[in-house]
Structure 1
Amino acid sequence: MTAPLRSPAALLGAGGVLLLAGGPLHPDGSGATVEEHLASMLTAPTWGISHLLLLAGSVLAVAGFVAAWRGEAFGPRVTPLLPLVIACWTLGVLDAVPHLLASHDHAHLVGGAPTPILDVHLVLQTVAVPAVGLTGALVAAAVAWSDRTVAAVALGAVGVLGGLGYAAAGLLVPLTWDVRYAALFPLQTGLAIWLIGTAARLAARSRTPVPA
């Protein structure tokens, strides 16, 4: 039996659970401008716990993809895609660190002073969020296409929708500077659901006896 800490199912499932828990705790912004929107969120009491959960979930998801790649858990059709997924989700982890720490720049943002931590996050987010969303949609579609079971296809649809919506938010907010597109960020939940469901499928497969 594979040790739990090295199991793709355990890692992907735990990552999905933490992402699913952290997403709803993310504060909702208010205000007409991006600056006002950010300022309203940075002091919210759930900012820290939400982003800690999202960071931990992202780390576990990356570890799960690495384990799945090494063990070819998704089969030969999907395995070649996983290095790209791992690279992009690692970028998401790197962005999650200044994202978590950006609350320290609240007073500077309100006072019009430089906001170095927040600025690093905003620059990284412009690349990291679309990268995570698009590769999340890609791997969800690839697994569904490879397995072609009802469960895989249903989960794939949820993952693709969530990934594309999350990627769109990461592109549209900085391109248009319109905070209304921030409403798409919670679609990351679709990726979390895909991770959990896919982990359950992998775990069930590993428990299925191999015919003699």
Structure 2
Amino acid sequence: MNTIRTHLWRICLVASGVILAVGGPMHPDSDAKDSLREELATMTADERWVPGHSLIVVSTILLATGLWIAWRDRVWPERVRRTLGFAAAAVSLYVVETVAHLAAARDSHALAHGDAAPVAFTHIGLSVFLYPLTGIAIVALALSFARAQRGWRKPIVGLGVLSGTLHAVSVPATLILPDVELTPVFAGAALTLAIWSLATGLVGAPKRATAPEPAPVAVGSLV
């Protein structure tokens, strides 16, 4: 039980990565030729939308939980803790967006027929703010981890930076460049986040340096 408690944050991150690796590719592709409403109508009507986004919700909850546990238990060096708390809070907010993202399927018929689609457009509104926030938080956390990691663990940082960057720019780019096919950006963000979460969980935090034991004092030196 103590072993599970000690490594619970790592278990959460590993599970998050595995589940996202399964759920992420299930996201339906968009078509840059269509309007945003038409794209949403097509994607939310796809039979993969609900199962894929359900897995993404679970993955995001596990990631947020793992980061909060790591923050609470102070498993990383103190200089990482503030950034870790920021990332945990950002991912927790992102959970709200993933739930709205999933629930957008409720408006599939309304989107296709030009009716009001409050849930779907709530998802869009949240994503405009929360995708960049979460992406920036992941980049900051990866760079913060880099200062604490050594040796062969450092390449994991690159995955976090790439994932966070893709995540941060994906939604704004969709709105700024509506005629550009950006499905690979979203897919890349999900895949690299899955690998980064999995790798971070498997590798864990660096071991804390322990103070050397004092050398025994010879009896004769006390006389």
TM-score (structure 2 length as normaliser): 0.85
Offset at residue 36 of structure 1 (A): 2.2
Alignment partner, residue 199 of structure 2: 197
Q: Which amino acid aligns with 2:103?
A: L
Q: Which amino acid aligns with 2:69?
A: A
> Is this contact kept in 1: 2:29–2:183, CA < 8 A?
no
Show CA shifts across 1:5-53 (max 9, x none): 9711111111111111111111112251222222221111111111000
Q: Which moved more, 1:3-12 or 1:142-151?
A: 3-12
Show CA shifts across 1:83-133 (max 9, x none): 211111111100111110111111111111100100110000111111111
Q: Where in structure 2 are there 5+ consecutive unaligned residues? A: 214-223
Q: Distance in 2 between matches of 1:115 and 1:172?
A: 22
More helix per residue: 1 or 2? 1
Relative to 1, partners in 2 of residues 1:5 and 1:178: Cα closer, same or farther, differing over 3 Å? farther
Q: Which moved more, 1:173-182 or 1:160-169?
A: 173-182
- Secondary structure of the structure 2 residue equivalent to 1:3: helix
Larger Rg: 2
Q: Distance in 2 between matches of 1:143 and 1:118?
A: 35
Q: Which moved more, 1:51-60 or 1:179-188?
A: 179-188
Alignment partner, residue 65 of structure 2: 63
Offset at residue 148 of structure 1 (A): 2.6
Alignment partner, residue 117 of structure 1: 119
Q: Which amino acid aligns with 1:35?
A: R
> Is this contact kept in 2: 1:15–1:58, CA < 8 A?
yes
Relative to 1, partners in 2 of residues 1:82 and 1:155: Cα closer, same or farther, differing over 3 Å? same
Q: Distance in 1 between matches of 2:14 and 2:113?
A: 42
- Secondary structure of the structure 2 residue equivalent to 1:131: helix
TM-score (structure 1 length as normaliser): 0.89
Q: Distance in 2 between matches of 1:125 and 1:49?
A: 20
Relative to 1, partners in 2 of residues 1:173 and 1:31: Cα closer, same or farther, differing over 3 Å? closer
Q: Distance in 1 between matches of 2:172 and 2:119?
A: 20
Q: Distance in 2 between matches of 1:204 and 1:9?
A: 13
User: Is 1:137 paired with 2:132?
Assistant: no
- Secondary structure of the structure 1 residue equivalent to 2:181: helix
Offset at residue 204 of structure 1 (A): 9.7
Offset at residue 203 of structure 1 (A): 8.2
> Is this contact kept in 2: 1:9–1:64, CA < 8 A?
yes
User: Is 1:88 paired with 2:95?
Assistant: no
User: Is 1:166 paired with 2:167?
Assistant: yes
User: Is 1:16 paired with 2:17?
Assistant: yes
Offset at residue 4 of structure 1 (A): 5.0
Q: Distance in 2 between matches of 1:157 and 1:69?
A: 22
Query: Stretches of 4+ moved more than 4 A in 1?
Result: 203-206
Q: How does 1:175-194 map to 2 (within 5 A)?
A: 175-188=176-189, 189-194=191-196
Q: Which moved more, 1:141-150 or 1:121-130?
A: 141-150
Q: Distance in 2 between matches of 1:54 and 1:22?
A: 6
User: Is 1:52 paired with 2:54?
Assistant: yes
> Is this contact kept in 2: 1:158–1:190, CA < 8 A?
yes
